[in-house]
Every structure is written in C-alpha cells, then in structure tokens.
Amino acid sequence: MADQEEDFSSLPLPDRFVHKNWKVRKEGYEAAAKEFEIATSESDPVVRQFINDASIWKGVVGDSNVAAQQEGLSAICSFLQTAGSQGATRTRNITIATIAEKGLPSTRPAAKQKALEALLLYIEMDKPDPVIEELIPILSHKQPKVIAATLDALTQIYHAYGCKTIEPKSVLKTLPKVYGHADKNVRAKAQELTVEFYRWLNDAMKPLFWNDLKPVQQQDLDKLFEKVKDEPPPKQERLLRSQQAAKAVAAAAPTGADEYVEEEEEAAIDLEPEFEAVDVYAKIPKDFGERIASSKWKDRKEALEDVQKLLDTPKIAEGPFDELLRAFAKSMKDANIAVVSTAANCVELLAKGLRRSFAKYRSTIMNPMMERLKEKKQSVTDAIGGALDAVFASTSLQDCLEEILEFLKHKNPQVKLESTRFLIRCLKTTREAPSQADVKSIADAATKLLTESQEVQRSAGAEVLGTLWKIMGDRMGPHLNDLDEIRKTKIKEYFETAEVRAKYKPKAAPPPKPAAAPAGKRPMAGKRPAPGGVKKPSPAAAAPPPVEEPTAPLAPKLTSRPGASKLAAPKSGLAAPSRLGGLKKPGTGIAGPSAGTASPRRPVVSPPPEEAAPPPQPKFAPGRGLAGRPLGKPQAEPAPIAVPQAPSGLGLVERAELEELRAEVERLRRQNEEVRADRTKLTSQIHELQNSNAQLIEDHTRDVLSIKAKETQLVRARSDYEAAEQTIQNQRREVDRLKRELSRQVRATSPPPTDLHDQIYADTNGTGRFGDSGYSSAGLYGRNRTFGAQPTSPNGEGKENYDSLSRPASNLSGKLSPSRAGVESAKSSLSSRGGRMSPPEITGRNGISGSQASAGGAESWKRAAEVTQNLKQRIEMMKAKQGIGRPQQ
C-alpha cells in the first residue's frame, strides 16, 4: 500500500484527476488545491496546464464519489481564485451545469457550500450573465431536488451581488413556470427567491410575472412581502473583480473612492419587459381628423377614445405622429373636460409606447398641457400630470426645464402650483443631476415661491429646494444662506424625506488624471520637482505651499536679480555663465516650469527629491543655461517676486490704514447683513399685511353680499305683506257682502206681517181714535210699527200664531178672544164702507161698549206683545240653528 501511495503521488496531477481509484482522485484534488494556493498568478505552469486542459474539470466537479467530489469542488475554488478571469471563461461552460446538477443537490453540506462558492467565484472573476444563462435551463430539470437546489443557489447569488449587478429579468420570467411545479419544495424555494427579488426591486418586479400566478399564490406572496417591506434596502455584499480593481484605483485618490461606490449603488435596474413594437399609425381611422373637428363634444370624445384603444400597447413603432400630436394639443383647449382628459390619456400612452422616440414631439404638446393645468377638477389635473410625467420620461430635465421655469411665473395660481409639483416629480425621477446654471435657475424660482401668499405654494417651493438639496448636497449652501431659519427648517424637513435617483458627482474625471499624468510625461522630471518645487511654488496644486514657506528668506536674493537685469536684458543671459550665482538662477528658472508640469507627481515622490535637491542643480544648470532659455526666465520671475515684495514694503501707517479699512469692510459687511435681515423681515411683514388686507377685503365683500341678500329678503317680505294685506281686505269685503246677501235672503224668505200689522193698527185706530182707551194713537202706532217690522218664521209655534194673526180669513178663535173677532168683523165692514164706522154701529154690531173695547184693546196688545216676543225667540233659535248671526246695522 505504501508503494502504491508513492506511485500515486508521483503521478502528474492531470493523471491523478482521471484515475479510476476515487482515493487517488481525492488526493490529487487535495494536492492540486495546495498547488493552486501556492501559485501567484495564472501564468504559473501548474495553473496554466489546467487552463489549457479545461475539459478535465467536468469530471472533477461531478465525481461519482461524494468525498472526492467535495475535494474536487474545493480544488476548483482554489483554481478560480488563482486563474482569475481567464480560468473562469475557459471552464464555466464545462463545469457550471455539472455543479448545478451534482454539486448543489449534494447530501454533504460542505460539498454543497463549495459548489455554491464555485458559482459565486465564476461570477466574481468575470461577469454574471453567462453563469445565469447556464443555470436557467437547470430550472427545467427532471429531478425536483436539482431545481430546488438551483433556486436556492440563485437566491444566494442575488443576495450576495444584488440585482444591480446581476440582471434579474431573465430569472423573473421563469418564475411562473417554477410556481406551477408539482413539488412543494420547489415552490417553497421559488417563494424565497421571489422574496429576495422583492427586497431589491419592491413592486417594480410584478409586471414581469405577477399576472401569470394564481390568486392564491399572489396572496401568499403578499403575506411574505409584508414581513420584509419595512426592512432597510439591501446592499451588495460581494464585489466583482472589476469592481474591486476600480475600488483599489479609487482608493489611491480618496476623493474618488466614495464617488465610485456611490455610482455603483445608484446603477439603474432595467426591469422593463421586452415587447414587440406595434404599428399603431396604420390602424388610426382615416376619418379621425373630421371627427376630432366635430362641433359635438361626444363625437370628439369618441374619436379620442378610439385612438386611445389603439395606443394602449406597451411598445409602439415609430411613425409620423405629428398630425396626431397637433390634434391632441388642440384638444387641450377644448371646453369639455372629458375631451381634455381623454386627450391627456392618449398623450401618456403614446409617450410610454414611443419612449425616447417621443422626444421630438415634446415641444408640440408640453406647452398646451401645462397651460390647461388651470383646470380645478382633480381628475383632469391628474390626467394631465400623468401625461407630463410620461413626456418627461422620454426626454431629460434640461430639455423640459426652461418651459417649466416659465410656467412657475404664470399669473394663474393653479397653473403655478401644478407646474411646481411637476418640477418636484422631475427632480425626484431624473437620473442626471442638473448643472450649476440649472441649479441656480431652479433655486431662484423656488425662492420666489417662498414669498407667495398661499401656504400650499410656499410649501411646494420649499419642497423644490429640499429635493434639489438632496441631489446637489453641500453645493446648495450658497442658495440657502440668505433664507431665514424658519424657511430653512421647512426646507430641511423636505430634504430629509426626499427620495431621489440622481446624485451630484463633482466630476469623477479629475481623480484619474493625477495617476495618468506622471506616466505620460518625461522621466527626467522626477529629479527636478525638488528644486523647482522649492523655488517656484505658484503653479503647484496642494503640496507646494508648505514647501514655499521655508524658502521665503530666499526672496531678497531673487529681488537682486531683477535689479541687475535692468541694465540690459540681453546681457542677463551672458552674465549667467560667468558667475555661480548666475548659474544657479537659470537653473531655478528652468526648474520652475518643470515643477509646474510635474506637480501632480509630487504627492507620490515628493519626500526623496527634497533631500536630493542640491546635487542635481549644477548638472541641470549648465545644460539648460546654454540653451538660451535664461533670457526668458528672468523676465517671468520679476512678476512673482514683486508680489511678496509689496506687502514687505508697507509701513506702520499703511498697515494701520489697512487694518482700519479691513475693519470698515467688516463693519459694512455686518451692516449689509443686518439690512438684508431687516429687508427680509419687512418683506415678510408686507406679505403678512397683504394677506390680512386680502382677508379683510374678502370679509367685507362677504358682508356686503350678505347685506344685499338681507335687503332682498326684506323687499320680498314687504311685497308678501302687502299682498297678504290686500288679500285680507278682499276677504273682508267678501265676508261683508256675503253677510248682506244672507240678511237679504233671510228677509226674502220670511213673509211680511202686513195683515197682523193692519189689524193691530186698525184696533188701535178704532179704540184710540175715539179716546176710549188710555193709549195715544202715536204711541200705539209706534208699538205696532215695531211689532210689524220684526221678521217672523213660518216654522214651529210661531207659524201657528203667524197664520192666525196674518190671514183675515183664518179662524182666530183658538188664539184670540171673541171681542177680537168682533173687532175683525167690524174692521171688514168698515173697510167695505169706506173706512169709517160710527160709534153706534160699532156698539151695535159688536155689542161692546166703549169701556169694554178699551179693556179688550189692552188685553189684545198684551197678547200681541207676547206673540211678538215668541216670534222673536223662535227667529233667534232658527238663526242659531242655521249658523247665521244677527246682521249688524
């Protein structure tokens, strides 16, 4: 056995990899892993032979023995870490499918972990797309455990690298098929992968696969999403080799490191499904122009609805839509809001379908839509706002900014407010930070909005500044310094809550330049930076200033040079070789420009050249001095020398005056700040007073309208009162008329008591005329008149009395005395004779003497009075029964 082991160990690694004995293979894998760890690069012979013979790795990762397979997976992990991108690209097409089929479903946790690590290394070494393309077909494998293991591996891959590094679209499209698998473990792993996608993408991933799931599956996923909805956004845990290299390069320039990482984090995730473009233009009805120009709004709306149905497609093929857009723009001015809303929906669909191709139509449709934002109905403004967002998505912030800023000055408050909200949405969705000029324009317009009378408009202006602050960072400071603390606090609230996609990056190009500059320039400049840096620090970036301070004592020496050169500029070049000081001067003059060119390299090699500065000066000075350049350099030197010489020549008085002037400037600056603060305060007071005045005017107008309304009500009440009075008067007259008519009818229905009156009157005349009775004719007449004037009723007992008294032919024996009957007969005979009767006749006929007649007359009057009284009572009773009141005289 020992001899066999020695023989096996002496075999080359490729032979041991394919040996029939699994123990030999296992030991070969272990030995290869150690060799790969010792190797320094992919050019190492041990690594190179396995790169060239990449097919050998298929048997390694798919070894039939699980113990050997585990070591084989460890070996390929070590190989990939050493071989890098070249080893990954040569072997991934051979090994990934085998790893997914035999390594990921392994029953050994260590082997499964090594298989997953191998997949992660394949992604790290090169790029992730080929690895994902190899894994997607495995999701259709026959064995459920292979599919479940692959889904779990995909979950770990996306968890490590994130959806910003690995394209998730291809995997998302395969999820509905996996959810339809019969194995519950497969469906459970699919849910885990979907939840991991949700951590990165949220609801943006749903359009790719959500509608293909069953309602029950959607409900289950929604419950899982609720658990991770409030988690912080995930971050990439592993970096690709390209990202690591970029980070290492950026680490050399500290200002660029954070910017690169931030740029990587802000990379956009493309989740837009791929659709086939539809030729909508050919389907537009031929009579659309006639229908949209109809005078009936229903016809115009129906024409737009027909076009809307055609435009409702994810992707639209390009075509000549100019006429269609002009029709939409004209519809924005339509008097009917239903037509306006439908036209806005058409614009939104067309912009989303054409995408970037819609940019050429922006100028045609954007102005009319923003002008129609004056509509107060929320449904209309929402439709127009959606169309504006779609138009902006097809263009850029710079294209739309000019028109938006113009509408921020609109006289209509509603247009101004909706335009401000549109600008806020643009700032939040743009992926390109605005330029400094655009920032100034936006900040100035938003600052003016802070002084508006309406609170909602002021809040919108503050939100614009807060969102812009979120994009630009500290560069917004100059635009916010002049604002008061209350407004700054409001803006900061919006800054903290704003969510933007763009971040201002201060030109990432400068950091790479310092690294590239030294490589391309002269190598000799490496020795010159020290003397040049000491003598001429003006063009240096950051390192030269500290070096310049110790050389300040050299300034007087340099000042003597211009004095000497004043005599003759041409002689300065000839005098230079004759003196050591002259040689030194040209050397410094030449080193100056070289220092300026080599200044970017100084941060890398600055310490050694400073110590070695004195020796190279004699070497460079003669060589450079003979070139004739010292003639130009002394002319360039006096300018920088004169600058330090001026302050050194200031006297005490001048310095005192300078200090006074500085104090005066500071005092004026403070006064200016105070004046600005006062002006801001007064401006705010003015706006408050304007608001109060507007409120008072509004209250006064409301009071005036109320008074006018009350006056109108009073006039109406007066007219109603007069009409009622007139009606009452009419009713009263009518009542009086009815009463008189009733009285007239009552008199007409009651028979006149003429006979009874005549009898009583005759009796009275018969008795009273001769003076036999004690009644005077006048008094008796008056009583009989009163009695005869009373109305009688023919009903009841009165009727009997009436009949017996009023009719001469009736028999009154039952009611009147015999003497009364005699009187009646005497009266009738009297009337037949001419109206007079002699006393003897009366006495003879009736057999009644004068005293008897007098007594009978008194009794008759009493009886008549009783009868009359009874008649009156009966009449009153009849009236009471009939509801008739006594007529008022």
Q: What are the tens digits of pLDDT across the range 826-857?
A: 444 444 444 444 444 444 444 445 555 556 66
- Asked if pLDDT for residue 628 goes beyond 80, the answer is no
Minimal CA–CA distance to 366: which of 337, 406, 335, 306?
406
Please check whether residue 389 lies inside any domain of the structure: yes
Please check whether residue 243 lies inside any domain of the structure: no
Lowest mean pLDDT among 289-293, 609-613, 754-758: 609-613
Q: What are the tens digits of pLDDT across the range 783-816?
A: 444 444 444 444 444 444 444 444 444 443 444 4
- Asked if pLDDT for residue 128 goes beyond 80, the answer is yes
3-state class of 795 per DSSP? coil
Of residues 616 and 21, more confidently modeled: 21
- What integer best gives the mean pLDDT of the chain? 75
The angle that helices 413-429 and 455-472 make with each other, rounded to 10 degrees, is 20
- Asked if pLDDT for residue 304 goes beyond 80, the answer is yes
Which bin fits 537, alpha (ψ -120 to 50), beta or left (φ > 0)?
Answer: alpha
- 308 and 434 part of one domain: yes
- 113 and 66 part of one domain: yes
- 368 and 478 part of one domain: yes
**Alpha helices, DSSP H, located in 649-795:** 652-749, 754-768, 777-789
- Here the tokens at position 354 are 């054409």
Those residues with Cβ within 8 angstroms of residue 487's Cβ, 6 or more apart along the chain or in another chain: 450, 462
Please check whether residue 653 lies inside any domain of the structure: no
Please check whether residue 521 lies inside any domain of the structure: no
Q: What are the tens digits of pLDDT across the range 519-541?
A: 333 334 333 333 333 333 333 33
Q: What is the pTM of this model?
A: 0.46
pLDDT at residue 515, rounded to an integer: 43
pLDDT at residue 754, rounded to an integer: 52
pLDDT at residue 284, rounded to an integer: 92
Q: Is 392:353 a contact under the CB 8 Å cutoff? A: no
pLDDT at residue 468, rounded to an integer: 93
- Asked if pLDDT for residue 377 goes beyond 50, the answer is yes
pLDDT band at 363 (very low <50, low <70, confident <90, very high): very high
pLDDT band at 274 (very low <50, low <70, confident <90, very high): low
Q: Is 193:154 a contact under the CB 8 Å cutoff? A: yes
- 721 and 854 part of one domain: no
User: Which residues make beta-bridge pairs with 278?
Assistant: 316
Those residues with Cβ within 8 angstroms of residue 188's Cβ, 6 or more apart along the chain or in another chain: 148
- 100 and 182 part of one domain: no
pLDDT at residue 831, rounded to an integer: 44
- Here the tokens at position 461 are 């202006």
pLDDT band at 241 (very low <50, low <70, confident <90, very high): confident
How would you label 775-807 residue by residue, b for 16+ Cβ within 10 Å and e otherwise?
beeeebbebbeebbeebbbeebebeebbebbbe
Distance CA 801, CA 793 (A): 10
Those residues with Cβ within 8 angstroms of residue 189's Cβ, 6 or more apart along the chain or in another chain: 147, 148, 151, 152, 155
Please check whether residue 3 lies inside any domain of the structure: no
Minimal CA–CA distance to 599: which of 527, 516, 515, 543?
543
**Which of 645, 675, 707 marks a domain boundary?**
645
Of residues 585 and 695, more confidently modeled: 695
Please state, as a whole number, how many other Cβ atoms lie within 10 Å of the Cβ of residue 448. 12
Q: What are the tens digits of pLDDT across the range 83-121?
A: 888 889 999 999 999 999 999 999 999 999 999 999 999
DSSP letters of 41-66?
STTSHHHHHHHHTTTHHHHHHT-SSH
**Residue linked to tokens 């797309």:** 129
Q: Is 353:280 a contact under the CB 8 Å cutoff? A: yes
Distance CA 295, CA 297 (A): 6
pLDDT at residue 646, rounded to an integer: 42
Q: What is the largest CA-CA distance in the chain?
A: 208
- 878 and 742 part of one domain: no
Of residues 653 and 516, more confidently modeled: 653
Which bin fits 278, alpha (ψ -120 to 50), beta or left (φ > 0)?
Answer: beta
Domain that holds residue 776: 754-882
3-state class of 38 per DSSP? helix
Distance CA 134, CA 518 (A): 44
- Asked if pLDDT for residue 822 goes beyond 90, the answer is no
- 802 and 841 part of one domain: yes
Those residues with Cβ within 8 angstroms of residue 470's Cβ, 6 or more apart along the chain or in another chain: 495, 498, 500
**Which of 446, 475, 497 marks a domain boundary?**
497
Half-sphere exposure of 249 (CA within 13 A, CB side): 15
**Mean pLDDT on 397-413:** 93
pLDDT band at 189 (very low <50, low <70, confident <90, very high): very high
- Asked if pLDDT for residue 766 goes beyond 80, the answer is no
- Asked if pLDDT for residue 653 goes beyond 60, the answer is yes
pLDDT at residue 192, rounded to an integer: 94
pLDDT at residue 244, rounded to an integer: 83
Instruction: Count structural domains, the chain.
Output: 6
- Asked if pLDDT for residue 702 goes beyond 80, the answer is yes
Q: What are the tens digits of pLDDT across the range 860-872?
A: 888 888 899 899 9
* N-to-C CA span, the chain: 161
- Asked if pLDDT for residue 227 goes beyond 50, the answer is yes
pLDDT above 90: percentage of residues in the chain: 40
CATH number at residue 28: 1.25.10.10
Distance CA 169, CA 492 (A): 37
Give the rounded distance of the alpha carbon of 701 from its chain centre: 34
pLDDT at residue 276, rounded to an integer: 77
pLDDT at residue 800, rounded to an integer: 43
Could you give the angle at the alpha carbon of 576 between the alpha carbons of 575 and 581, nearest 5°? 115
pLDDT at residue 229, rounded to an integer: 85
Please check whether residue 275 lies inside any domain of the structure: no
Give the rounded distance of the alpha carbon of 204 from its chain centre: 19
DSSP letters of 343-396?
HHHHHHHHHHHHGGGGGGGHHHHHHHHHHGGG---HHHHHHHHHHHHHHHHTS-
DSSP letters of 65-80?
SHHHHHHHHHHHHHHH
- Asked if pLDDT for residue 353 goes beyond 50, the answer is yes
- 204 and 190 part of one domain: yes
pLDDT at residue 864, rounded to an integer: 86
Please check whether residue 355 lies inside any domain of the structure: yes
- Here the tokens at position 860 are 């008759």
860 burial via Cβ count (<10 Å: 0-12, 13-18, 19+):
buried
**Torsions phi, psi of 316, nearest 5?**
-115, 135
Minimal CA–CA distance to 72: which of 117, 137, 125?
117
Distance CA 37, CA 27 (A): 16
Distance CA 287, CA 72 (A): 73
- Asked if pLDDT for residue 264 goes beyond 70, the answer is no
The angle that helices 555-565 and 569-578 make with each other, rounded to 10 degrees, is 120
- 379 and 478 part of one domain: yes
Would you report the helix, strand and coil content of the chain in percent, each value rounded to 5?
A: 75, 0, 25
DSSP letters of 599-649?
GGGHHHH-HHHHHT-TTHHHHHHHHHHTTTGGGHHHHHSHHHHHHHHHHHT
pLDDT at residue 574, rounded to an integer: 37
Q: What are the tens digits of pLDDT across the range 541-596?
A: 334 444 434 433 433 443 334 333 333 333 333 333 333 333 343 344 333 333 33
Alpha carbon separation from 12 to 74, 208, 577 (Å, rounded)? 19, 51, 73
Q: Is 805:867 a contact under the CB 8 Å cutoff? A: yes
Sign for the CA dihedral angle at 522, 523, 526, 528 comes to negative
**Mean pLDDT on 689-704:** 90
- 286 and 223 part of one domain: no
- Asked if pLDDT for residue 437 goes beyond 80, the answer is yes
- C-beta pairs of 770-776 under 8 Å, 24+ apart in sequence: 770/839, 770/850, 772/850, 772/851, 772/853, 772/854, 773/853, 773/854, 773/857, 773/858, 774/854, 774/858, 775/857, 775/858, 775/861
- 737 and 822 part of one domain: no
pLDDT above 70: percentage of residues in the chain: 67
pLDDT at residue 232, rounded to an integer: 86
Q: Is 518:600 a contact under the CB 8 Å cutoff? A: yes
- 389 and 454 part of one domain: yes
Which bin fits 319, alpha (ψ -120 to 50), beta or left (φ > 0)?
Answer: beta
- At 849, the amino acid letter reads S
pLDDT at residue 650, rounded to an integer: 66
Distance CA 72, CA 114 (A): 9
Of residues 571 and 150, more confidently modeled: 150
Please check whether residue 176 lies inside any domain of the structure: yes
User: Which residues make beta-bridge pairs with 324?
Assistant: none
Q: Is 161:238 a contact under the CB 8 Å cutoff? A: yes
3-state secondary structure string across 833-884: HCCCCCHHHHHHHHCCCHHHHHHHHHHHHHHHHHHHHHHHHHHHHHHHHHCC
